[in-house]
């Protein structure tokens, strides 16, 4: 199973964002944008050491739940320790070290993030204090750092570590910089972007450029078999046509999209148009791959009133081959099982007993994962990490050493 979209540090928000803030109580609204202020607060505390410790626990939780690979959509490029910013690439090394310690495959999706957003009038919003740590100034600066990171990954030479790229969103990267990235990033590089997660993003993009985010990405030369659109919740029919005909991948994150009240994306329509569907856990409201598979199908059922919108085999394909393709671990003509990664799942638990094996995506949970093997190595058994031990203890140690996150 391949987790195609993760922000590891968001894990500290689990179970801590469900009460209305003072602002939301005043205006009777609690949504993605109010949640984002809490996320930025968490990002402001990150240092390389804290990030490595937290990400190690998050990646360890992933493997005990059954994920064998992760796409880490990484934009916090500069952490802060004792009031000073970290050295260049320290945060990236922290995530790589965490993945190697947890024994999970990582495609590090190093992310270009250049402006604070777009107003509904289409005007660029300056970076705030936290966002300034995400930015390399312009596409040239980001490409320079990306190439330096490429050299680091080459030097590490681990079968678990792959480098990809991302543009955060059309809100965070102007059109002229999108075009430069499309022209100068090496051909075939795995590239991801948040796309149309919120209606406000679409409105701002239309105001700024006279087109939707998908149309803007297409005109900038970014769509194609190496491209993944994350969320893709609020699309037009033309957007669906562009993503499908280009052979792009769509990374749905159903538990996060439900948790943040984003909406239900047109997954079935995208698949029918020719797009590959993959799954991710994004902000880790849940890290259970079976719950993500079920939520994808349940969203379709709730929005259409029809069952069986995705067959169980299609749900498993999204979690396995779709994710592998999204992260550049397998191409359309490559079997992702060639990676020598696999799970053993209990088919006779109280949840799965009586289920046809083919229908486990609709009945199993991470609690039924008995063994996880990655790169021919046993990494987890019965919810316990083979090298790191109890994931609960990893989280407890992190919170004890970093009370600022509580």
Q: Mind telling me the catalytic residues?
A: 231, 282
Four-CA torsion 106, 107, 113, 118, nearest 10 degrees: -100
| 190: number of Cβ within 10 Å | 23
Beta strands at 80-81 and 84-85: parallel, antiparallel or unpaired:
antiparallel
Dist CA 394 CA 197 (whole Å):
32
Structure tokens at 36: 């984002």
Helices (H) and strands (E) in the chain, counts: 15, 16
DSSP state of 321: I
Compute the half-sphere exposure of residue 193: CA atoms within 13 Å on the CB side of its CA. 28
Q: Is 372 helix (H, G, I), strand (E, B) or coil?
A: strand
b or e along 296-319 (b: 16 or more beta carbons within 10 Å of the residue's beta carbon)?
bbbbbeeeeeeeebbebebbbbbb
Distances 378 to 66, 67, 259, 385 between C-alpha atoms, Å: 12, 13, 32, 9
Structure tokens at 54: 């937290």
Apex CA 277: angle with CA 275 and CA 282, to 5°? 130
Q: Is 327 helix (H, G, I), strand (E, B) or coil?
A: coil
Dist CA 350 CA 347 (whole Å):
9
């Amino acid at each position: 199973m391949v987790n195609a979209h993760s922000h590891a540090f968001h894990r500290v928000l689990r179970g801590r964002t469900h009460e209305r803030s003072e602002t939301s109580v005043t205006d009777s609204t609690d949504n993605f944008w109010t949640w984002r202020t809490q996320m930025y607060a968490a990002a402001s505390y990150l240092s390389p050491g804290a990030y490595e410790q937290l990400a190690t626990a998050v990646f360890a939780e992933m493997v005990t739940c059954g994920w064998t690979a992760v796409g880490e959509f990484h934009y916090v490029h500069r952490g802060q320790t004792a009031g000073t910013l970290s050295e260049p690439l320290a945060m990236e090394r922290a995530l790589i070290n965490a993945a190697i310690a947890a024994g999970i495959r990582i495609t590090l999706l190093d992310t270009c993030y250049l402006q604070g957003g777009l107003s509904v009038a289409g005007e660029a919003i300056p970076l705030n204090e936290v966002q300034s740590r995400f930015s390399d100034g312009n596409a040239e600066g980001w490409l320079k750092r990306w190439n330096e990171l490429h050299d680091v990954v080459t030097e590490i030479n681990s079968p678990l570590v792959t480098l990809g790229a991302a543009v955060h969103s059309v809100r965070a990267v102007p059109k002229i910089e999108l075009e430069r990235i499309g022209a100068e990033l090496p051909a075939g590089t795995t590239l991801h972007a948040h796309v149309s997660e919120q209606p406000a993003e679409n409105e701002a993009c239309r105001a700024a450029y006279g087109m939707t985010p998908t149309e803007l990405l297409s005109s900038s030369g970014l769509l194609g078999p190496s491209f993944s659109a994350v969320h893709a919740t609020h699309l037009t029919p033309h957007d669906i046509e562009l993503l499908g005909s280009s052979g792009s991948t769509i990374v749905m994150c159903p538990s996060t999209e439900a948790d943040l009240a984003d909406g239900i994306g047109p997954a079935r329509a995208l698949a029918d148009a020719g797009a590959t569907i993959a799954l991710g856990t994004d902000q880790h409201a849940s890290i259970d791959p079976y719950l993500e598979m079920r939520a994808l199908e349940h969203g379709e059922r709730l929005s259409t009133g029809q069952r069986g919108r995705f067959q169980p085999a299609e749900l498993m394909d999204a979690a396995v081959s779709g994710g592998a393709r999204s992260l550049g671990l397998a191409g359309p003509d490559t079997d992702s099982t060639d990676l020598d990664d696999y799970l053993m799942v209990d088919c006779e638990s109280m949840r799965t007993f009586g289920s046809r094996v083919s229908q486990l995506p609709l009945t199993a949970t991470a609690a039924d994962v008995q063994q996880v093997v990655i790169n021919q190595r046993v990494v987890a058994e019965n919810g316990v990490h083979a090298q790191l031990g109890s994931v609960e203890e990893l989280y407890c140690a992190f919170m004890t050493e970093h009370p600022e996150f509580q």
